[in-house]
Structure formats: C-alpha cells, structure tokens
Structure 1
Amino acid sequence: MYGITDFSDSLNSTKNKFYGIKLWVFDIAGTIVYEGNLVYKTVCNDINEVLMRAGKSDKQARLELCLEYSAMSELFEQLKAGGRNVVLNTGYDAKTASEIFTTLGWSVGNQVNASIIADDVDEGRPDPDMITLTTKQFNVDNSQQVLKAGDSGINIEEGKNTGCGLVLGVLSSAQNEQRLVKYSPDAVLDKLTELKEFI
C-alpha cells in the first residue's frame, strides 16, 4: 500500500520538503473534489453542463463526486496564510476554465493566487510548460520548491517532468492507487485536503 499512511511513517525524511515548498500547483478537474457528498449535486450538474458545452462529455463528473467547498477553501487559506502561493492548472481551454471558476464562485486573487490553462502555453501536459510559466510568474527559481498534485498519471508526469520537489497523486477521480503508483509519485492521497496535516 502506497498511501498517506505510509507517507506519514516516513515524515522524518520527507517533511522538510513540505517546509520548502513555496508554490502549490493543483489540477482542477478530478482533483478538487470530495467523494460521497450529494449536497453539491446541483454544482456537479452545473459543471457537467459546462463540460458538455465544451465537448468534454467524456470528462463528466460523477454525481457522487462533489466539491467540498469549506475544506478546500480552508486548505487554500491555510497555505496562503503561511506565505505560500496556490495555483490551479488545467488542460481545459480558457472559456471552459472560466465557466468552471464562475460555477464554483472562485476567482484569482481570492481563493487562489493564479490559474494557468493549456491556452497559456505552447505545450500542454505532460510537458512542464504550464508549471514553468507559473514559476516565472511567482519568481520561483528552483523547481524543488514546487508541489504538484493531480488525480491522473499525466498530472504526475507533468510534475516529474518539471522537476517538482513533491509530486502527489490524489484518489478523487477514476484512477485507483495501483494505476497512479505506476507513475512513481512521492505519495498518493485519498483526497487533497489531507495535505492539511503536513502544512
């Protein structure tokens, strides 16, 4: 098993990496979601409508995968309060990303420090261009000071190709732990908000 418990057991050798992370980059679709909370069914439906209009019906969010607003916002606030920058990145185009942000009620400068999309760079994932652009925006010269977390193998590859100090898989989407481990992340979390215990 290669989950959060095992990662906790090796904190003596890895916790210092968290202290050195200045830029926290999170994938949007599939990563910032929470299992089993149907309270946000309407939000899920709204997001699905946005994705369908963008021709991304294959990326539809399952109804049991709904946004955990309070916990996610608390995580972002905790990170920013410690002087860290929170960035969301996605392979979606500008229109789709903007509509998703509007649906969530999130905006750059409030919940997050920045948002980087595939339209902003020449090459999308798994190339490092999106994260590299982010490091330039926040004057982070050392990629070891960057954390990348995502729910798919291509997210993990993006982080590793950038040379991020920490690359995490998140089990909030369709890919299971066994599949994510094949991409050799530093750890696999059940959900993104588990990061709170390492901040």
Structure 2
Amino acid sequence: MNSIPSTPHDIRLVVLDMAGTTVADGGLVERAFAAAAAELGVEPGSEDHAHKLDYVRATMGESKISVFRHLFGEESRAQRANAAFEKAYGELVDGGLVAEVPGARAAIEELRADGRTVVLTTGFARVTQDAILAALGWRDLVPLTLCPADAGGRGRPYPDMVLAAFLRTGAADGVRQTAVAGDTSYDMLSGARAGAGVVAGVLTGAHDGEALRTAGATHVLGSVTELPALLRGSDQA
C-alpha cells in the first residue's frame, strides 16, 4: 500500500465502483460480451472477435454502450450489442454467479459507521446494476447508486458520476473531500479528473498496480477492505 498523503483531506464522500471492486463477477463481462458479439455476427475464435475482446478488457470500467459504439460504430448495431450484453449479464447474475468481494459489505458499513457517505457506481445500465444489488441484498446498503444514465449519459473515464455523487448527496464541502475507489484505469481517471482527494486503486479486478498508478491512483490497495483504515489515517494527516 502507498503511504498516506501528508495533506489532510477529511474525506466525507466515498464513491465506489461495483464489479471488480466491491462485487466479484468471475469474468461475467467476457461471457456476456460473447453473447453480444454473437448477436452482431462476430465469429467466435476469429481475429475480429479477439480484437474486440481485447478492447473490452482494456476499457473495463467504461460505460458499456460507449464500448459498443466504438466496436460496432452504427448506433443501431451498438444498441443491439448493448441490449444483448445486458440481457446475458443479467441472466448470469440471476443464476447466482455474482458475490461480494470478500469483506466488501463490511467495509462499506465501516465507512458509513465512520460518518462517511458511500455511493456505488457502475458502467452497466440501471437494469443490470439493480439486478446485481438485488442479488447481493444490497438495495438498502447505501443511500445512492449511480449508472452512466443517472449522470447525463457519460460514464468513465469522464468525471460525471463522481461529480453527480458529490452534487446529489451534498456530503462534502468540496470535491477534495471525496474518495474514489475502483479496479480499473478508467476508475482512476474518473476520480482524478473530478478532483477527488483520494483516488484508490484496488487489485481485486481488471488492472494491475502499474496501470492504476499511471492512470492517477494516489494509493493502490489489496482490496476495498483496506479503505476504511486508509481514510482514517488521511483524516489524521
């Protein structure tokens, strides 16, 4: 873990990613992508399929419709791919194939017990986010959850969801009192661009420590379970 910054942040708002950070989905994104690719006629095992899958992996954390717009161009094709992806992912969630990252719920409860407001964010559509929350029994765990459509339609790496959390909760006096945590480079870029005081990468998901630091992580943690202690130290810095 990186050392705690020397300047105090008094973090009041914590914006957490879901899949890969607080939610373990066991590679369901790639499985759901296969369904989306098949819907658009991409041949499994082909060079085109491999190229598109590489892009999906590289852009983990981004709004999924944005990913499909890049991959398939024409809006109607992108929307077809996105609908197939969300349907397939939702069916996998309903099949019991998601779980919390070990200790994630307890960490969220710990953050809230420390007086911080916690918001959960995702690059998935609202219907998929709601399915994940229901599957985990997390509907009432935090006061606010956000998907890209809730923040004007732009997902990560834009700062919009972080700024929407800041504006809607009123929990912090300034964005520097916000901490962002996620497992992808896009999570880090989103937090850094929003001006968050703490941008913490976690190693339970898509990207490694080097990628997270390059994208703007102020800290790299083994998992989200280390975040409450980090923020207590930041309060005292």
TM range (shorter): 0.7 to 0.9
Distance 1:66 1:48, change over 3 A: farther
Give the residue type in structure 2 aligned to 1:67.
E
Tell me the equivalent position of 1:26: 16
Give the residue type in structure 1 aligned to 2:20.
G
* TM-score using structure 1 length: 0.75
Q: CA deviation at 1:177?
A: 1.4
Which secondary structure does the structure 2 equivalent of 1:25 belong to?
Answer: strand
Distance 2:128 2:177 in 1: 29
Deviations 1:117-170 (A, max 9, x none): 111122221111111111111213410010001101111000011000110111
Q: Does 1:13 align with 2:6?
A: yes
Distance 1:11 1:148, change over 3 A: closer
Distance 1:75 1:164 in 2: 20
Distance 1:173 1:182 in 2: 16
Give the residue type in structure 1 aligned to 2:163.
T
Tell me the equivalent position of 1:125: 156
Q: CA deviation at 1:176?
A: 1.3
Choose which of 196, 210, 215 in structure 2 pairs with 1:183: 215
Tell me the equivalent position of 2:200: 168
| Structure 1: 5+ residue stretches without partners | 35-42
The alignment-based identity, stated in percent, is: 31
* TM-score using structure 2 length: 0.64
Give the residue type in structure 1 aligned to 2:226.
E
Mapping 1:22-171, distance limit 5 Å = 22-33=12-23, 55=85, 66-68=99-101, 71-107=103-139, 110-122=140-152, 123-139=154-170, 140-171=172-203
Choose which of 224, 230, 233 in structure 2 pairs with 1:192: 224
Contact 1:149 1:168 in 2 (8 A): yes
Which secondary structure does the structure 1 equivalent of 2:204 belong to?
Answer: coil
Deviations 1:85-112 (A, max 9, x none): 01100111111111111111111xx311
Tell me the equivalent position of 1:37: none
Give the residue type in structure 2 aligned to 1:13.
S
Count residues with an aligned counterpart. Answer: 175
After TM superposition, the structure 1 stretch with the greater mean CA deviation from structure 2, 154-163 or 77-86, is 77-86
Distance 1:187 1:11, change over 3 A: closer
Contact 1:169 1:187 in 2 (8 A): yes
The two structures, once aligned, show a CA RMSD in angstroms of 3.1
Distance 2:218 2:28 in 1: 33
Distance 1:128 1:185 in 2: 14
Distance 1:47 1:158 in 2: 20
| Structure 2: 5+ residue stretches without partners | 36-82, 233-237
